[in-house]
Amino acid sequence: MSRVALRWGYVYLVMLLLVSAIGLVAQNRRARVADYRIRFTQLERERSGLLDEYEARLSNRAVARWAESRGMVPMSKGRWAE
């Protein structure tokens, strides 16, 4: 083999290894992004459930029931002044 062919063979081998390394990194990143997307959808579902629960506990009617259970008299049933 000539020196030129040997040098180009080394260049080819280095480039092949470089492209393989870049491919491996890209595959790992793609897998991590897929995991992040799955986790994001899970968190979005959990967030919507928590928001529904939050709104159910702090709706006007829920707050009124809580206040009435602790002795508040609604303005429409109470006296204005004596």
pLDDT of residue 20: 97
- The pTM score is 0.56
Q: At residue 55, what are phi and psi to the nearest 5 degrees?
A: -65, -35
Tens digits of per-residue pLDDT, 11-66? 999 999 999 999 999 999 999 999 999 999 999 999 999 999 988 888 888 888 88
Which run of H or of E encompasses 66?
helix 60-69
Distance from C-alpha of 45 to C-alpha of 53, rounded to nearest angstrom: 12
Which run of H or of E encompasses 31?
helix 3-57
pLDDT of residue 77: 66
Tokens matching residue 80: 């204005």
